Structure 1
Amino acid sequence: MSITAIIVLKIEDYEKFEAAFASRESERTDAGINAKAYRDMDDASKAVVIETVPSKEALFAFMAKPQIQQTMRNATIQESPDVTFLDG
């Protein structure tokens, strides 16, 4: 059973974010994570990622990997993401 995660990120540059996000698609797939990134239409400093993940633990383990942490820094993410998990 999978769950949905909505991740809201404060970013500096959406193009850099988008490029960094795309660069990790194969790692997300390998981790069983299906994700799509969106730009907030009303706030250019906000990106929203909607993901289907195997579990909360799987997402947190993926996000804790050093290479993913480095990618997040390269993506101009300004602060810790706000993560909401949905079941249903």
Structure 2
Amino acid sequence: MSVTVIVSLKVEDFDKWYAAFSSTSGKREEAGIQAKGHRNIDDPNNAVAIGTAASKEEFLGFFTTPEMQEIQKDAGVLGPPDVTFLEEA
């Protein structure tokens, strides 16, 4: 059973972050992760990605790689993300 993942990030510029997020769609698909990017209406520098992964471990294995950390840094992510994992009831 897959898990739903919500990742909330503070970013310098949403459009810059979204361009980087979009450019990694193939990498996410290869890792079995489906996600869409969203902008917080009340805080335009809050980027939120909502998606699914096979498991929490699979997601973290992908998200915490040095390559993904560098992509996030280059995309203007300002600090550690707030990540929530949900399972369907």
Bucket of the pairwise TM-score, normalised by the shorter protein: over 0.9
- Structure 2: gaps spanning 5 or more residues: none
Q: Residue 39 of structure 2 aligns with which residue?
A: 39
Distance across 1 between alignment mates of 2:37 and 2:76: 14
* TM-superposed deviation, 1:24: 0.7
Task: Output the TM-score relative to the length of structure 2.
Answer: 0.95
* TM-superposed deviation, 1:39: 0.4
Distance across 1 between alignment mates of 2:18 and 2:47: 9
* TM-superposed deviation, 1:47: 0.7
Whichever residue aligns with residue 56 of structure 1, its letter is K
Whichever residue aligns with residue 28 of structure 1, its letter is R
Question: 1:58-79: CA deviations, max 9, x gaps?
Answer: 1111012121111100111101
Residue 48 (1) aligns with residue 48 (2): yes
- Structure 1: gaps spanning 5 or more residues: none
Equivalent positions of 1:63-82 (< 5 A) are 63-82=63-82
SS of aligned partner of 2:44: coil
Larger strand share, 1 or 2: 2
Task: Output the TM-score relative to the length of structure 1.
Answer: 0.96
